[in-house]
Amino acid sequence: MSRRRLSKKRKIIADPIYDSLLIQMFTNRLLKKGKKQLAYRIVLESLALIQTNKKQDAIQTLETAIQNLSPSIEIKTKRIGGAVYSIPVEITSVRATNLAIRWLLMAAKQRSGKSMSQKLSDEIFDAFKNMGNAIRKKEEVHRMAESSSRLMKK
CA 36 to chain centre: 18
Q: What is the pLDDT of residues 45-81, one digit of tens each?
A: 999 999 999 888 999 999 999 999 999 999 999 898 8
Q: Where are the beta strands (DSSP E) in the chain?
A: 73-80, 83-90
pLDDT profile of the chain (154 residues), mean per 10: 84 90 94 95 95 91 96 91 89 95 96 92 95 95 87 62
What pLDDT does 141 receive?
93
Q: CATH code for 21-153? A: 1.10.455.10
**Share of the chain residues as helix, strand and coil, in percent rounded to the nearest 5:** 60, 10, 30
pTM of this prediction exceeds 0.75? yes
Task: Map out the domains of the chain as residue ranges.
Answer: 21-153
Give the other-Cβ count within 10 Å of 91's Cβ: 17
Distance separating alpha carbons of residues 127 and 71, to the nearest angstrom: 13
